[in-house]
Structures are given as C-alpha cells and as structure tokens.
Amino acid sequence: MSDPDATNVGSDHAGGSNGGRDVPGRTDAASNGLDLGSGGPNVDEEYPLQVEGLCKTFGGITAVDDASFRVERGTLTGLIGPNGAGKSTTFNLITGMLRPDAGTVTFDGEDITGQKPHAIANRGLVRTFQIARELQEMTVLENLMLAPKDQRGEALWRSVTPGFRGDVVEQEEELLERVWDVIEFFDIDHIADEYAGNLSGGQRKLLELARALLTDPDMLLLDEPFAGVNPSLEKRLLEHVHELREQGYTFLLVEHDMDLIMENCERVIVLHQGQVLTEGSPDEIQANEEVIEAYLGGNV
C-alpha cells in the first residue's frame, strides 16, 4: 500500500484535491498507508468545505443559527463577524470539537458532521492548535516529529498495519526528512533545538502552523493566528500562508484585524448573531451597509 513515489509528485487523495504540490513535507495520505477512501462521486472540486443549516445552542444561548456557507478551493477565505457572532463555535463544529444540534458539514464530498477531531484531521481538514503545556517542554524539532501522531491518531493505525515494526525505522527517517523540509520552509532551523516554551508569540504561531502542515492537510482552519505576533513575524507568517495557498492549500481564517482580512483574503464570509449575513469579495464586504451596521451595533 505504501507508495513512496507518491510524495510530492502529483498524487491526489480525497477526491483529487491538492495533488501536484511541492508542499514542504507533503505526502499523500494514501501513501502513508491510510485508507481514506476515494472521496466518492460527490466531491465538489470547487468547494471542498460546505456547511449547511448548522445550529448550536448552549443552554438558552443560540451561538450558531442555521448557518450555511461554502469555501472555495485554493482560497484564503476570511470568517469575520462582531464579538459573539459565532465564529469560534462554527470552527469547533466544523472540526469536530463540538457536535451541532442540526445541520451538516461536508468535506470533499463526505459528510463529516459530528465526527471526532482525529477522523476529520485524517480527511485533511486540520486546525491549528496552541502548543499544549507538555509540548512546551519539548524542542521545536521534537514537537514537529510528534505532530502527525498527535493530531491524526497515527499510533492507532500504525499498530494495526501489518509489517509495521519492520517499517518503523524507515518511516521515522522519512518523517525526519519531511520535518526538516518544513523547518527550512518556515526558516526556523535556528530554533530547532529551542524549547517550545521559550519561543516568542510569533515563533510559536509559526510552530503551530508547521505542526498542522505535517499532518498532510488539504485545508487549514486558522483561528486568530496573528494574535500577539509582532508585525515583522506577522508579515512572514502571511507570506507563508500565501505561498501555501498558491501551492493549492485552502484556508479558512478567523481574524479580528479587519485590515488584514481585507488585504489578504479573496473571499470573506460575515457571521452575525450566528447567521451568515453575507459573503463576497473584500470590496463587496466593505461596501455592504448591513455589514457596517452589524459591526457598529456589535462591540468590535
């Protein structure tokens, strides 16, 4: 099942989404021995992520209220809205951290509603995470070596893969090679041996993105990736995001900095009181009276 030649040479998975990229450390999910299925005949090549009628209440509070939207492949799409609009809850519903009360989340043609975060990450839909406390006591290199196992539940499938023990050294070597590709891509080789807990806010964000990338995603969900990042590192992070987008990755970004959203996103989806108020290009969004009103009424 393993096909080392599939790495970075136009191999597709889950409906033929991102094949052909020279992404750092990119390996095709199928080449890892994961049987992810073909994605089926209903894969929408243009819109990998589709959210339909999503609802979530917490006690008496309606956080997400019949939200429907889709994200175009290969775009950096912004998800914005005033405080309390439902952005984080929507992210949590998409990535399996929360179960919706109603509605569906479809990724690459597969209904992933209510699936576990690991299962969703295995499909290629991955969010960045803050570095957990125990990982802060490990170096950047160790963090990156652990990333795929951590986020994708890799230990489980490895343990049931025939011939696993014989392959383990080879797989670790392959992983180390991928990790160094990613380290070089992000230009963080000088901090490879630094403890994650000692990194600056911006360096930590780079590490979070690097960790997510090592899980072979097709689409990345970024929740305020620039918070607490100094302007020069923010610029670098953005350059990396754009470079990855050009290589075929799809991004959905929650970000409060409106200028950053308008300057960097191709598409913007506006949430208000748990519903999609509108979506469009940054120019369309900035000229939209309803959006301006929602923000003036909200506490931005």
Ligand X SMILES: Nc1ncnc2c1ncn2[C@@H]1O[C@H](COP(=O)(O)OP(=O)(O)OP(=O)(O)O)[C@@H](O)[C@H]1O
Q: Give the residues lining the site for ligand X (CB under 6 A).
A: 58, 61, 63, 81, 83-89
The closest alpha carbon to 48, from 205, 252, 227, 262, belongs to 252
Alpha carbon of 257 to those of 40, 90, 284: distances in Å? 38, 19, 17
Short-list 190, 231, 224, 189, CA closest to 205: 224
Q: What is the DSSP letter of 131?
A: P
Identify whether the C-beta of residue 106 lies closer than 8 Å to the C-beta of residue 49: yes
Write down the least CB distance from residue 270 to ligand X, Å.
Answer: 11
Least spacing, CB of residue 94 vs ligand X, in Å:
12
Nearer to ligand X, 88 or 161 (CB): 88
Cα–Cα distance for residue pair 259/174, rounded to 1 Å: 40
The minimum distance between CB 86 and ligand X, in angstroms, equals 4
Sign of the C-alpha dihedral, residues 13, 214, 210, 183? negative
Q: Which residues pair with 52 in a beta bridge?
A: 104
- Name the residue nearer to ligand X (CB basis): 93 or 145: 93
Distance from C-alpha of 18 to C-alpha of 251, rounded to nearest angstrom? 13
> Closer CB to ligand X, residue 85 or residue 210?
85
The two counts, helices (H) then strands (E), for the chain are: 11, 10
Q: Which is nearer to ligand X, 186 or 251 (CB)?
A: 251
**With respect to ligand X, which residue has the nearer C-beta, 99 or 235?**
99
CB of 110 to ligand X, least distance (A): 25
154 or 208: CB nearest ligand X: 208
CB of 93 to ligand X, least distance (A): 9
